[in-house]
Every structure is written in C-alpha cells, then in structure tokens.
C-alpha cells in the first residue's frame, strides 16, 4: 500500500505521517517512511536548493523540473522496490504537492505538470492520500517561531491558492483523498487516520 500526506504549511502532515509509521510498525506491519523532496542522496541535495532561503533565484519551470528529478529517483530507488516486497510505504508529500505548489501556486499549466509527474512517478499513484486541511494563516502562525524556507516566506495569497488547489484536486478523485480537519487534537487525528488505514489493510 502506498500512502501519501499532503497539506499547506504548518498543517501537521509530517507529524501525522511519522505517527502512522510508528503505529503500523507497532502492529507488526512492515512499513517504510520517506519524504519529498528528499529520500535519496540526490533528493537530499535537491532539497537544499529548493527549500533553503538563499540568494539563488529559481524560476517556476526550473523548480518544477527539480522536484520531478527528485521524485523520479525516489520512486525508482526507494518506493517501487519497497512496494514490490509488499511493504507499506508512507510518503510525506508526493506528486500532488507539485500540482498544487507549481500549478495553482506558481501558475504553471496543470496539464504540463500532470505529464511531467507521469514521467517522474512512472505513473505510480497513491492508494490513499490524506489532506490535512487548515486555513493558511493558522498554518503559518504555527510555524512562526521556526526558520522559514522559500515556500513559508511566500505571501498569504500564494498560500491561499495552495489550499484551494488541494481542495480542487481532492474533489477530482474523492475515492483516493481523505480530507482531515487539521485543527483537531493530534491524538484525535492520529486515531482517525490509523482507523482508515487499518480498514484498507484488512481489505
């Protein structure tokens, strides 16, 4: 099973992805946790370019292709091999992030992004995607005392487009997406997600 977590900045998706990983391991379910951008030596190098605030200018098209390169390496080196040995794979962000951030956020053509994502992922789709939904201003406030990266530092209009993009994409494929109210207590969200995943495992 391939599970992905998506959401705006400060939504708590990374926390929930790691909690699910620990929860499944405790139940004896062989589970791998990974993240985007990152997860491989190439991905970690690209992550530094994409996330760290610096004087390096990256245009939207270059940003799109850097994420795609990172994803292609991760799918072929980490995700596919794990799935082929019947492991559960949890990924903190995946192709939907590129659709939303570079498409809805940066304004690049969505069909172009879908096409590039198909190449990068080898058409791999998550079995389920959890969207941790929160108002952008609340999410950014949660990260107020944390060092901001390139995306955190964007204006509120950018982050509003990100949230709207996620909700739009989720409507296109409701059988895959599960929208979770990220304002709930962390233990409550963890319980909801674990119950959903275990039902799928039983099937």
pTM, to two decimals: 0.94
Q: Residue 128, Cβ neighbours under 10 Å: how many? A: 17
CA distance 72 to 51: 18
Domains and CATH numbers, the chain: 2-202 (3.40.50.300)
pLDDT of residue 8: 93
Sign of the CA dihedral with 94 first, then 131, 187, and 31 last: negative
Distances in Å between the Cα of 55 and the Cα atoms of 15, 47, 49, 50, 70 are 30, 15, 11, 12, 21
**113-134 pLDDT per residue, tens:** 999 999 999 999 999 999 999 9
**54-111 pLDDT per residue, tens:** 667 889 999 999 999 999 999 999 999 999 999 999 999 999 999 999 999 999 999 9
Token digits of residue 62: 């270059």
pLDDT of residue 5: 98
Q: Residue 67, Cβ neighbours under 10 Å: how many? A: 26
- Burial class of residue 59, CB neighbours in 10 A (0-12, 13-18, 19+): exposed
């Amino acid at each position: 099973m391939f599970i992905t977590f998506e959401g705006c900045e400060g939504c708590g998706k990374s926390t929930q992805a790691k909690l699910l990983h620990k929860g499944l391991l405790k139940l004896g379910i062989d589970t791998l946790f990974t993240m985007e951008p990152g997860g491989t030596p190439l991905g970690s190098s690209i992550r530094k370019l994409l996330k760290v605030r610096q004087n390096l200018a990256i245009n939207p098209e270059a940003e799109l292709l850097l994420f795609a390169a990172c994803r292609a390496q991760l799918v072929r080196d980490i995700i596919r091999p794990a799935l082929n040995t019947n492991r559960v794979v949890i990924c903190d962000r995946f192709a939907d992030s590129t659709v939303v951030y570079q498409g809805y956020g940066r304004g690049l053509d969505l069909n172009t992004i879908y096409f590039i994502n198909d190449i990068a992922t080898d058409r791999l789709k998550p079995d389920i995607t959890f969207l941790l939904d929160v108002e952008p201003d609340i999410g950014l406030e949660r990260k107020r005392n944390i060092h901001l990266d390139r995306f955190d530092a964007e204006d509120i209009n950018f982050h509003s487009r990100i949230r709207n993009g996620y909700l739009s994409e989720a409507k296109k494929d409701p059988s895959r997406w599960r929208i979770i109210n990220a304002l709930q207590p962390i233990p409550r969200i963890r319980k909801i997600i674990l119950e959903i995943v275990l039902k799928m495992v039983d099937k």
